[in-house]
Amino acid sequence: MQASRRAFFAICGSHKRDVIRPPWALPEAKFIENCTRCSACIDLCPTRLLVKGSGGFPEADFTPGRATEGCTFCGNCLTACQERVLIKRQDQAAWTLQAVFGESCLAAKNVVCRTCGEACEAQAINFLPHLGGVSRPQLKAEACNGCGACLADCPTQAISLRPDLSLSIATQGAT
């Protein structure tokens, strides 16, 4: 491994939780070792989700208002990647992200809002009756694919995507 790559990996490893690689990326060590930082995946992403991140390596940036509809799993980035650090595996999800609803959710403040549920093609968001208030969003974790469409549409930026740690452990070491 080149010295510059080794140095970057040491930095990246310490901030690993903050970085979301493109879908179906190889495990971080192999990704950093083999990605040439050519930006081909970034250039072909139709939703502008992918950006050049730290060290010039591609990242998914779910900042509200940036990517128009999250990840559509169109596969353009995989097709663009000549180094094969993005490889679709039938038995593995694109990533281990799950939607989490925060305190600024309008429904939690008794304002009717179902925007996230309407944005979710996977139908992973239920609105359950809430005693003494309006229905609040609740995630069906097994249905959420981490696409980020709900996050892009939420008027109060109440949704974030977090890794599902149980899945991270289950898929560790997979190539």
* 94 Cβ contact list (under 8 Å, min separation 6): 23, 24, 71, 73, 145, 146
Query: Least distance from C-beta 130 to ligand SF4, angstroms?
Result: 12
Number of residues forming the site for ligand SF4 (CB under 6 A)? 43
Q: Is 173 exposed, middle or buried (0-12, 13-18, 19+ CB in 10 A)?
A: exposed
Interface stretch with ligand SF4, choices 7-15, 25-33, 153-161, 163-171 (CB under 6 A): 153-161
Does 81 participate in binding ligand SF4 (rule CB under 6 A)?
A: no
- Among residues 84, 53, 33, 64, the alpha carbon closest in space to that of 157 is found at 64
Interface stretch with ligand SF4, choices 12-20, 25-33, 104-112, 164-172 (CB under 6 A): 104-112
* Residues in the chain, overall count: 175
Which of 49, 57, 59, 81 is close enough to bind ligand SF4 by CB under 6 A?
Answer: 49
SS3 143: coil
101: amino acid identity, one letter: F
Residues that bind ligand SF4 (CB under 6 A): 22-23, 44-47, 49-50, 71-77, 99, 101, 105-107, 113-116, 119-120, 122, 124-125, 137, 139, 144-150, 154-156, 158-159
